[in-house]
């Protein structure tokens, strides 16, 4: 029934072969994009199982995204007839969730603990700040939640944070109050999943020894993006007998902003006494021109470990470059080009449209939508984050765990039930002073509001009773009716869409149960691992009992509802109904990591956008942006398109952009410009713009015209950055270095208007980008 080990190894090049068949020792694969790192990792798992060196339960593999984990499981089951469901393959968060589901009791969590996604977390933080009567201006909720996540990622509980000023003191108090609140409500945020698991492993010796004995092999993909806590976490699971294989590419480290440490690679090498560092230098993914572009670009970074990549594929198609007048025409061009590829036989799912920021997807989405072309968006506002879906999930979570205050507050008066702000304040005060959940505190509120609260609790109770024993689908249907959500949206103006999404939720649940077999990640340890004779045998009882409490009637370890709610919090929430459809793939560059497509469009290659304005001003930031660009380029197999636009609607305003500096870092020989490379003053475009400007239909009429700019005929092409702006006898041009008496030296990114109206956006090193009125700012041109 099984494939001979030899055929698993067929086709590997010598270095890959070596890596796959390494002896039982720690090793590091350090290699560039598309060189087969992930393939080696997957093949090694298959080889270990195949040759009987390891049982499925003894392997842990960590990947970065759910999509990558899924892909690994698919590849593995294609290679081997193993039951991959019992295997510990997943993201850090997915594996932590699995661990904590199994050990909830020793971890100090309720069995039905729920996971807060980032928006839930933010609202929880807001509630804490409000409860402490603090000023949201001084303690900006977003920054507070970054502070908390940052502390957790450093492995620090409130007591461990060094306090050096009053502000930190208060932040730590908020952190503490937030923790208490989460604990009371039985919820954990993403960072908590990691930290809780880490601490439990650190402090519970029998448990740690169990897992360290269990995992003979730990394999980590995308190692360059692990943060400190993740690295410490890995060390906890890797016992003295464990062979750890770390796989990474320093040039693809793109999460430094979230605390990822490339330094982990060096630490790993030292701490694990790595004897084998394997380099893979042949790229199997991309054609020559694409690879040239990637190599050239990344060559501009200074801090690199240094790697080579070559291909034996021919040069292939040139990298095509397109300049558009607006983001709208950029989107039109993309969709026409994509359609063309599709007509030539390329599957739509093999075409990816990448962007630096989520906000860019809307225009592209609406172009695709209007043209009736199927597409699929990853990331962004995830399906499970849409307001109506979150409302529905909140009801479901309350059915599962009525102490979940976040969910309680979200729907207690939605749809309206005559529960006003004052009533809720009383309720929250009562809960706070008694240290209980909102649910438990309704008795403390009197009057009509109090009565309505009691009625709400009864509604949830009755939903729980009515849905007992029903299928997941039926549970959701009952909830949608009894909660009044469907009726509410029926009366709403734009309710039809929302009802559709609620129906989609039912589909998602259905797909979750049937396709996935529920709870791939969510289910606790498979029962057979705990059976006598299994790996858990011989463990101290406290551990072996791993707190599994199967349902008395069904024997289920976890209800489908609980599993589904976990899935909703952890998964990307892709529209399940569309999962099988051949659709164009839209995603940010970050979420494209590790993936590959026949054709890739990198859009919005403009200064300020890519490289992003927040990063472009500091060398570290710029190098990270460049690595991001390197990741983007190396996703493409056959076709690569680079595109930029002169104007773009962002944050409700038309902004004028110049093309990304990355174009100057690409080899001209690999590129093909689809639009004439108009440069400088006097191009046809610039003249048109000037004319439009003089007619008074230039910039001013465009700014703020914004609400529906895409239905009107193409606006006059504004192109202010092309022509020099003359002020005080100086001719300013975009790209020029200038000096400001207060901000120092900077580079002009954008110029707008003329005469006394002339403005420039200038990027100053330490001070960042600023808009300046040229007649006032007294800039001098730096020669």
By annotation, the residues acting in catalysis are 37-38, 221-222, 252, 635
Stretch of 5-13, 134-142, 309-317, 669-677 lying at the interface with ligand ATP (CB under 6 A): 5-13
Q: What DSSP designation does 107 have?
A: T
Please calculate the CA angle 155-148-612 and round it to the nearest 5 degrees: 105
Which residues, 6+ apart, have CB-to-CB distance to 314 below 8 Å?
Answer: 287, 288
Smallest gap from Cβ 42 to ligand ATP, in A, equals: 8
Quick check: 579 and 725 in contact, CB under 8 A?
no
Smallest gap from Cβ 247 to Mg ion, in A, equals: 7
Sign of CA dihedral 57, 60, 66, 72: negative
Smallest gap from Cβ 697 to ligand ATP, in A, equals: 46
Smallest gap from Cβ 596 to Mg ion, in A, equals: 9
State which residue, 19 or 87, has the beta carbon closest to ligand ATP. Answer: 19
Smallest gap from Cβ 416 to ligand ATP, in A, equals: 50
Q: CA-CA distance, 610 to 709, in Å (whole number)?
A: 23
Closest CA to 594 of 619, 631, 559: 631
Q: CA-CA distance, 197 to 95, in Å (whole number)?
A: 9
Total residues in contact with ligand ATP, by rule CB under 6 A: 19
Residues 570-599: x where in contact with ligand ATP by CB under 6 A, - otherwise, as a string: ------------------------x-x---
Stretch of 26-34, 488-496, 649-657, 734-742 lying at the interface with ligand ATP (CB under 6 A): 26-34
Stretch of 36-44, 313-321, 550-558, 667-675 lying at the interface with ligand ATP (CB under 6 A): 36-44
Quick check: 757 and 724 in contact, CB under 8 A?
no
Residues 378-397: x where in contact with ligand ATP by CB under 6 A, - otherwise, as a string: --------------------
Sign of CA dihedral 598, 604, 608, 613: negative
Out of 285, 356, 386, 520, which residue is the one contacting ligand ATP (CB under 6 A)?
A: 285
State which residue, 37 or 307, has the beta carbon closest to Mg ion. Answer: 37
Report in angstroms the alpha-carbon separations of 42 from 20, 93, 153, 710.
9, 20, 28, 46
Backbone phi and psi for residue 696, each to the nearest 5 degrees, phi listed first: 85, 10
State which residue, 284 or 414, has the beta carbon closest to ligand ATP. Answer: 284
Q: Is 725 annotated as a binding residue?
A: no
Residue 415: cis peptide before it, omega within 30 degrees of 0: yes
Q: Is 755 annotated as a binding residue?
A: no
State which residue, 251 or 571, has the beta carbon closest to ligand ATP. Answer: 251
Quick check: 388 and 636 in contact, CB under 8 A?
no
State which residue, 165 or 312, has the beta carbon closest to ligand ATP. Answer: 312
Q: Is 31 annotated as a binding residue?
A: yes
Q: Is 35 annotated as a binding residue?
A: yes
* Gyration radius (Cα) of the chain, Å: 28
State which residue, 191 or 219, has the beta carbon closest to Mg ion. Answer: 219
Residue 38 sits in the site that holds ligand ATP (CB under 6 A) = yes
Which residues, 6+ apart, have CB-to-CB distance to 184 below 8 Å?
Answer: 403, 405, 435, 436, 437
Quick check: 411 and 417 in contact, CB under 8 A?
no
DSSP alpha helix (H) spans, 373-484: 387-400, 405-411, 421-434, 438-441, 447-467, 472-482
* 36 interacts with, out of ligand ATP, Mg ion, none, CB within 5 to 8 A per kind: ligand ATP
Write out the binding residues for ligand ATP, residues 210-249 only, by CB under 6 A.
249
Out of 39, 152, 210, 759, which residue is the one contacting ligand ATP (CB under 6 A)?
A: 39
Residues 648-677: x where in contact with ligand ATP by CB under 6 A, - otherwise, as a string: ------------------------------
Which residues, 6+ apart, have CB-to-CB distance to 589 below 8 Å?
Answer: 254, 354, 355, 356, 602, 610, 628, 629, 631, 632
Q: Which two tokens stand for residue 777?
A: 């700012």
Q: Which two tokens stand for residue 151?
A: 């502390």
Smallest gap from Cβ 294 to ligand ATP, in A, equals: 10
Give the H/E segment covering residue 243: strand 243-248
Residue 449 sits in the site that holds Mg ion (CB under 5 A) = no
Which residues, 6+ apart, have CB-to-CB distance to 39 below 8 Å?
Answer: 16
Q: CA-CA distance, 573 to 377, in Å (whole number)?
A: 10
Q: Strand 671-673 relative to strand 737-740: parallel, antiparallel, unpaired?
A: unpaired
State which residue, 308 or 434, has the beta carbon closest to Mg ion. Answer: 308
Residue 37 sits in the site that holds ligand ATP (CB under 6 A) = yes
Residue 34 sits in the site that holds ligand ATP (CB under 6 A) = yes
State which residue, 350 or 607, has the beta carbon closest to Mg ion. Answer: 350
Quick check: 722 and 682 in contact, CB under 8 A?
no
Smallest gap from Cβ 221 to ligand ATP, in A, equals: 7
Out of 8, 15, 16, 605, which residue is the one contacting ligand ATP (CB under 6 A)?
A: 16
Residues 47-86: x where in contact with ligand ATP by CB under 6 A, - otherwise, as a string: ----------------------------------------
Q: CA-CA distance, 40 to 221, in Å (whole number)?
A: 10
Quick check: 122 and 114 in contact, CB under 8 A?
no
Residue 13 sits in the site that holds ligand ATP (CB under 6 A) = yes
Backbone phi and psi for residue 673, each to the nearest 5 degrees, phi listed first: -85, 120
Residue 11 sits in the site that holds ligand ATP (CB under 6 A) = yes
Q: Strand 276-278 relative to strand 27-30: parallel, antiparallel, unpaired?
A: parallel
Residues 18-57: x where in contact with Mg ion by CB under 5 A, - otherwise, as a string: -------------------xx-------------------
Residue 594 sits in the site that holds Mg ion (CB under 5 A) = yes
Stretch of 11-19, 328-336, 476-484, 601-609 lying at the interface with ligand ATP (CB under 6 A): 11-19
- Cα of first residue to Cα of last residue in the chain, in angstroms, is 73
Smallest gap from Cβ 597 to ligand ATP, in A, equals: 11
Residues annotated within a binding site: 31-38
Residues that bind Mg ion (CB under 5 A): 37-38, 594
Residues that bind ligand ATP (CB under 6 A): 11-13, 16, 31, 33-39, 249, 252, 284-285, 594, 596, 634
Residues annotated within a binding site for ATP: 31-38
């Amino acid at each position: 029934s099984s494939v001979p080990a030899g055929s698993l190894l067929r086709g590997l090049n010598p270095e890959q072969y070596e890596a796959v068949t390494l002896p039982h020792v720690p090793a590091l694969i350090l290699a560039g994009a598309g060189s087969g790192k992930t393939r080696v990792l997957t093949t090694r798992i298959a080889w270990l199982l195949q040759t009987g060196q390891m049982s499925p339960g003894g392997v842990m593999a960590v990947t970065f995204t759910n999509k990558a984990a899924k892909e690994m499981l698919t590849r593995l089951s294609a290679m081997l007839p193993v039951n991959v469901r019992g295997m510990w393959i997943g993201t850090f968060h997915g594996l932590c969730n699995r661990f904590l589901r199994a050990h909830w009791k020793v971890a100090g969590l309720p069995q039905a603990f729920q996971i807060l996604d980032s928006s839930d977390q933010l609202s929880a933080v807001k509630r804490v700040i409000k409860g402490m009567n603090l000023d949201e201006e001084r303690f900006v909720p977003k920054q507070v939640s970054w502070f908390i996540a940052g502390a957790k990622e450093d492995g620090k509980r409130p007591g461990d944070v060094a306090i050096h000023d009053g502000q930190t003191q208060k932040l730590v108090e908020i952190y503490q109050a937030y923790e208490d609140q989460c604990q009371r409500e039985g919820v954990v945020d993403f960072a908590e999943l990691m930290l809780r698991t880490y601490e439990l492993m650190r402090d519970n010796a029998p448990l740690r020894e169990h897992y360290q004995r269990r995992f003979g092999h730990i394999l980590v993909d995308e190692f360059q993006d692990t943060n400190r806590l993740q690295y410490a976490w890995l060390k906890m699971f890797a016992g003295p007998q464990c062979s750890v294989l770390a796989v990474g590419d320093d040039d693809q480290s793109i999460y430094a902003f979230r605390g990822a440490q490339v330094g982990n690679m060096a630490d790993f090498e030292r701490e694990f006494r790595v004897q084998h560092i394997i380099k893979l230098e042949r790229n199997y993914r991309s054609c020559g021109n694409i690879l040239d572009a990637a190599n050239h670009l990344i060559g501009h970074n200074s801090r690199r470990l240094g790697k080579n990549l070559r291909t034996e594929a021919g040069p292939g198609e040139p990298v095509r470059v397109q300049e558009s007048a607006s983001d709208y025409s950029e989107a039109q061009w993309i969709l026409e080009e994509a359609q063309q590829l599709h007509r030539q036989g390329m599957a739509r799912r093999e075409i990816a449209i990448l962007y630096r920021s989520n906000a860019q997807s809307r225009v592209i989405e609406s172009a695709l939508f209007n043209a009736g072309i199927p597409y699929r968006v990853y990331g962004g506002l995830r399906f499970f984050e849409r307001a109506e879906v979150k409302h529905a999930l909140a009801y479901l979570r309350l059915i599962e765990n009525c102490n979940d205050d976040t969910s309680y507050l979200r729907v207690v008066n939605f749809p309206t039930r005559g529960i006003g702000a004052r009533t809720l304040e009383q309720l929250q005060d009562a809960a706070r002073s008694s240290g209980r959940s909102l649910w438990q505190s309704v008795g403390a509120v009197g009057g009509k509001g109090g009565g309505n609260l009691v009625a709400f609790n009864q509604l949830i109770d009755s939903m729980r009773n009515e849905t007992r024993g029903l299928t997941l689908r039926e549970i959701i249907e009952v909830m949608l009716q009894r909660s009044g959500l469907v009726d509410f949206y029926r009366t709403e103006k734009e309710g039809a869409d929302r009802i559709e999404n609620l129906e989609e939720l039912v589909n998602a649940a259905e797909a979750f149960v049937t396709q996935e077999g529920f709870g791939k990640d969510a289910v606790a340890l498979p029962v057979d691992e705990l059976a006598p004779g299994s790996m858990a045998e011989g463990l101290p009882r406290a551990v072996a009992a791993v707190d599994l409490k199967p349902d008395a009637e069904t024997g289920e370890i976890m209800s489908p509802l609980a599993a589904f709610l976990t899935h909703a919090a952890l998964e990307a929430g892709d529209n399940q109904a569309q999962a099988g459809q051949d659709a164009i793939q839209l995603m940010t560059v970050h979420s494209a990591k590790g993936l590959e497509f026949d054709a890739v469009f990198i859009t919005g290659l403009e200064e300020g956008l890519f490289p992003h304005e927040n990063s472009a001003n500091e060398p570290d930031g710029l190098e990270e942006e460049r690595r991001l660009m390197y990741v983007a380029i190396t996703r493409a197999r056959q076709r690569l398109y680079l595109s930029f636009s002169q104007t773009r609607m962002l944050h409700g305003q038309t902004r004028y952009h110049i093309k990304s500096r990355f174009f100057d870092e690409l080899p001209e020989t690999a590129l093909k410009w689809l639009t004439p490379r108009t440069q400088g003053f006097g191009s046809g475009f610039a003249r048109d713009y000037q004319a439009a400007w003089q007619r008074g239909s230039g910039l001013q009429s465009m700014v703020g015209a914004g609400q529906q700019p895409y239905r009107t005929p193409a606006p006059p092409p504004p192109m202010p950055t092309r022509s020099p702006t003359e002020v005080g006898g100086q001719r300013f041009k975009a790209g020029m270095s200038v000096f400001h008496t207060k901000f120092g030296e900077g580079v002009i990114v954008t110029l707008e208007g003329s005469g006394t109206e002339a403005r420039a956006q200038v990027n100053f090193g330490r001070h960042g980008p600023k808009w300046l009125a040229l007649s006032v700012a007294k800039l001098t041109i730096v020669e």
